[in-house]
Structures are given as structure tokens and as C-alpha cells.
Structure 1
């Protein structure tokens, strides 16, 4: 991309960021776009902390909710690439206590596919419990599955990170956070920008989440989604601002900058200072692997190998090109194999929906379109 073209896309994204903040829909906003390894957009706007009047900076860290599941899945795939793990590793082979109540056949593949059958912790689980790794793992090992592992699909909203992280810890002797830093973010030069648990020394960089106007919308009492997100641990702005939440390893969520998240997904695409996975594994990761009804959320769902197989604003040119992950507070990170683009949007207006991410994605797609044959091109439309 030439200098004039890069300046054009930066200016248009920055204009969109400034308008979204000025209109009052956003408090603080970060957008990063990496194209074939080059950081072409690192836009910021608004306030990281409205109480103090502190402005968002490129290195501001944002609580990103389930967007972090995409980072966690990336770590798992990198570990398989390195030979540290195998997709068909039985969890009980490294975590014997997990075999209770017929869960002995659950594998790492099932974790990444949200098909283990343990989408819910006990209904009495609290935020304090979430911050206690050993307690959460004991609780999940003792849970009865909703279905035989591998025979169903349902979003594991808060259990995913513990199931993946404890399997990784027991199989390799290292935590998921350790591997995130050593195998992913340090080789990419973003070790201070992407975290499951934020080091205390970096808490001063974390944006304060602001609640959305109006009452929150929670699942219907007694529904499967209600069981999967017990009242004592539901994420909102207050949850995201808690020091214990921010500093604890809860890999179903995490805290990051947009440029850090985008760099990780660019690494998955094979661009930047380190190619994280082989082209064959990248294709396997992004390919849609499940289509059907989510037994937890009770909605039609399509799922790739650890990721949502989609972009928030445009349809991919072909199945298996786009993949990403999106959080309950409207954050997101996604990549497109055909265009070589990785995009991340971080925000601190804690509200559901991805309208901001969708608008940014549509703007990016204007600059990095894909032809009908699936080959990427570039334009300044």
C-alpha cells in the first residue's frame, strides 16, 4: 500500500471514530487495522476514564469480554502447531478428576468447539469464585454435563476459559497466560498489550468501562442461558472495572489494546514478525465446522474451530475466509484470509451489539475488497 493510500484509510477511520464519540454513542474508542503485516490504522478517540478526563491512547487497555476467547483459541492452535498439544487429547488423561459423570471422552477439540457439555458453572457461582482458579476448576470437574461430550453444541460463556486453561496447564506444565506471552505476544512485540489477567503494574493503562443507558437485558429466568450465566457473575461495567476481575486469569474474558489484538490475528494470517501457524492450520481454524442450534443460547449458530466464522459488517467472500471473536460489550477482533486484513475494535461503553464494529468493518471492506474469485485487491473508493 502506498503512502497516500495508507493516509486515506487512516483519515477515514479516524473520522468515523471521532464522529461516533461526538454523537455520544461511544465514550472511548480504539480501532486498529493491520494489512499484510503493516499497521495501517491505529485510531483513537474519546475518554479512557470519563471521571478523570483521561483521553484514550493507542496503548490504552480495554476490557474486551469474550473477544478474549479468540485470543485463547489462538494460543491453543499455536500450541498444537508447536507439538505441545493435540486436538484429540482427552482432558481426563491430564486432568483425571474431570472424567466424573461421563465426561471422560471430552477432548481439547470439544473445548474449542464448545461441545464439551459443561456450559454452566453452579448457579450459585460468584465473581469471587471466578477469580479463584483452583475453585472454578474443582467446580467444573464435579459438574454433570448437559450432553455427552462431542454430541451437542452450546456456547460455554464463562466455562470455556477454565476448561481450556486447565487442560493446557496440566498438559504442558505452564499456564495459558504464560503461553500467551511466550508463544504469541512476545514474538509479535505486543506482550504488554494483550492479557487474560492484567499485571498490576499495567492497571493504570486500563480504560474505565461505562454502563449503557437503561436497564441491562439478562436471560429469561430458568432458561438455559440463565443457567449458563448465573446472576452472581454476570458481566457488566461494574464487573469489568473490578480490580480482582482485571488481574485474575479468567480466559473467557480479557483486557487488551486494539493494536495488540489485531497483531495477534495478523500473526495467525502469517504476516508480521512471526507467522503463528501454518497455512493448512489457518484454513482448518477458519473453516465452518458446525451449523445448527445453540443449546444454550437457543439460536441458530455457525461455528469455526474456536472462532466465529464471520465479520461484523460484511459477509466473507467465501466460507472459511473470515474468522474472529466478539465480546458482550461490543468489542471485537477479526481477520480475513483473502484480503490479509486483521481488525480490532475496543470500546468502554459496556453495551451489547456490534454496530460500531460493523460500521468500521464496512469502511475497511471498502478499502480492502475481495473479488468474486476470492482474490484480494485494494481501492480508495
Structure 2
């Protein structure tokens, strides 16, 4: 259940044991877990099934829809482009995209979009998957909207619009699409060009796991009808298994989401956990990394109603009842229980992706199990 490159250590053995138990009992369908410590891959485990009907097993290279875990990948990509001088956090979006600079949005910066502070979380109430996935038209619709609050004064989760806005900004600023940029500037140089994606190209379609519902859809449906959440995630585009299995959804490069392997995204966060450098190759300057992973805003999220701290596209620390990220850690989680994060204090990174969409909990459990086995304090 692990490659020859992974040491036979207590953390690896413990994760293998837990995954075998969970997939064997049917609590999970397919799961991948990976972790790095001090520049070395210390856990690389997988178990279960990628597609039940086909009898296709979950393997280390199976691509798993990890939903908003992709927002952290997008944040890392932007950081690389900022480091290169191609983008700047404090530049108004309208400089890249003139049509955007109307209706009170003239001074909204790229950093405010990344930090969910732009005041533009809303989608049309009657939005359909087809309309959401028409990214040029959706971007044009957002460009005509007035911010819900004074940009920069508060933050609220831009669940889908984060991806629509970033895709358009990146295209206009660079002349390349977000998926091209990801492959050419970040995933490719890290050797994970086929393991870290904003969309699924045709030649990789057979490697993608099928999503299954494990109670996640019911949890979303139980939210109060008037909850602000439904302004940023209308019922027609809820992040549930049915949407994740659509071919058109998988083919659309929308950097609010990601399709990935645990091994791939854990490698990305290992770079970030080690100050921007891994295996002797520097991907990002320490200064830019520090800037984007410093808390830019803290308080109550206007759309989710939860308390958190946001950086430049990363959630900093964890204020949840069952914390996944340690204090000083940063990353992003996705619908249905996937997550990835870096803990720079211990030069540690962790990733979990899975195809049965459940209420989160396994992520915190396994991150804690691995940290304990490695002797890392859970401060």
C-alpha cells in the first residue's frame, strides 16, 4: 500500500491501518493521504476504490476531485506570479480588466479578491451549472455587480466567484489560462503536472475517481433557507457528488476547485512548509511566502458565519471545534472532507483527498495521528 520510496515508519503504518479499516467497512470509498516532514515524504498511503461500478481501485496516481482544496493551489500559483513580478497583490483588478472597474469596484485589488474581501461573493440566485461554467459570461456578470460591502472592510467566502474572478484576472494579466499557468509555473516545475489540476484534460479523464455522497448533500440542504451561504452557493450549484461527476464541470478550469492526488498537493505544501524551497530548488521567495501566509483579515466570515483568519487565498490557523491546521499553519479544505496544509514551524505538510463526500473529521484525525507518530507537538 505504499511505494518503495516511503520509509516503513510508524506514521505510514498507522495511516495504512486506519485507511484499511475505513474503506473495508464502507465508511469511506477511496482515500489517499500524504505527508512531508523536513523535505522528505514520510507518508504516502491509499486504499479503497476509485469507481465502484468499474471496480477500479484507488491508486497513488488516481486523481480525486478535492473541491475548494484547489483554492490553496490557486493562491500558491498567484504567489509565484507575484514573486516573478507578473502580478502584485496591491494592484487594482481594473488595471488588468478595465470593464471590472465600475459600480464601486474601481479600487478592489487582487489581494482583496484572494482574501475574500472584495465584497463579490454572490451569484445569480437561479444560476445553473451550465451558466456557472460559462466562465467568460459569468465573469462579465460579476463585472457589472456592486460590492455587497465596502471592499477591504470585511470578508466573506467567495465560494465560486473566487475561481471565476481569478481565472479572468490571470487570463487578462498573462495571456495564458489558469490551467496553463498552473502546469507551466508551478505543478510542472515541481514534477506534478499531471497530479495538480484545475480541470481534467481528456488524456487524464480515465484516472479520475468518481464522487459518492456520504451525507454531505444533506448537510448542505439542512442549512436555513435564508442563510447567506446560499447567496454565494445557490442551490443549483451546490458542491455535491452529482456536480463533481459531470463531464462539463471536470473539463472547466475553474480555480475555485482542484482535482489532485494527495501526493501532489502534499508536495506543493512541502515547498511552502520549507520556506519556498524543496530538494534544493527554490520555487518562491521567503518574503512573498510570508506575505501571502500572514493573516490579512480576521473575524466572522459574512457568508459562512464562522470565525477565521484569511491570508492571500489561504486560511491561517484553524478556529474549528476539531482543528485540522495547527496555529501558524495555513492551507485550504474542500467540500466533503478533503484538505491540505503546511505547518512551517515543523516543516510539515499534510494532504488528504477522498471520493466519498462526508462531514469533515477524518482530516483532523489523520493529521493528528501522523503528527503524534512523528513526535510533532499539536500546539
Q: TM-score, normalised by structure 2?
A: 0.92
CA contact (8 A) 1:65 1:252 kept: yes
- 1:146 CA drift (Å): 0.3
Distance change in 2, residues 1:137/1:364 (3 Å)? same
Measure how far apart 1:315 and its partner are.
7.4
Name the residue aligned to 2:250: 246
Cα distance in 2 for partners of 1:86, 1:34 equals 30
> 2:146 matched to 1:150?
no
Task: Find the aligned partners of 2:95 and 2:151 in 1 and give their Cα distance.
Answer: 15
Distance 1:198 1:349, change over 3 A: same
> Is 1:361 matched with 2:361?
no
Identify the range of structure 1 (322-331 vs 13-22) with the bigger mean alpha-carbon deviation: 13-22
Q: Using a 3 Å threshold, how does the CA distance of structure 1 residues 130 and 272 change in structure 2: closer, same or farther?
A: farther
User: 2:52, 2:108 → 1: CA distance?
Assistant: 45
SS in structure 1 at match of 2:218: coil
Match of 1:192 in 2: 194
CA distance in 1, matches of 2:235, 2:280: 43
Distance 2:39 2:179 in 1: 24
Deviation at 1:210, TM superposition (A): 0.7
Alpha-carbon shift at residue 179 of structure 1 (Å): 1.2
Give the distance between the partners of 1:192 and 1:4, measured in 2 at CA: 20
Would the aligned equivalents of 2:136 and 2:168 in 1 still touch at CA under 8 Å?
no
Partner of 2:355: 348
1:46 counterpart (45, 48, 58): 48
Cα 1:42–1:316 change in 2 (3 A) is closer
Query: Which ranges in structure 2 are unaligned for 5 or more consecutive residues?
Result: none
Secondary structure at 2:189's aligned position in 1? helix
Q: 1:295 to 1:279 in 2, by over 3 A?
A: same
Given the alignment, which residue of 245, 251, 260 partners 2:264? 260
Which residue does 2:238 correspond to in 1?
234
Q: Which sections of structure 1, spanning at least 5 residues, go unmatched? A: 375-381
Give the whole-Å Cα distance in 1 for the aligned partners of 2:227 and 2:212: 28
In structure 1, distance between residues paired with 2:288 and 2:373: 27
- Describe the superposition over 1:120-146 as per-residue Cα deviations: whole angstroms up to 9, x where unpaired: 111121101222121111111112210
- C-alpha displacement at 1:40, in angstroms? 2.0
Matching residue of 2:295: 288
How far apart, in 2, do the equivalents of 1:242 and 1:316 lie?
31
Shift in alpha-carbon separation, 1:5–1:247, aligned structure 2, 3 A: closer
Query: 1:217 pairs with 202, 216, 220, which one?
Result: 220
Partner of 2:124: 122
Deviations, residues 17-47 of structure 1 (Å, cap 9, x unaligned)? 1112123221100001122232222101010
Question: CA 1:26/1:293 → structure 2, altered by over 3 Å: closer, same or farther?
Answer: same
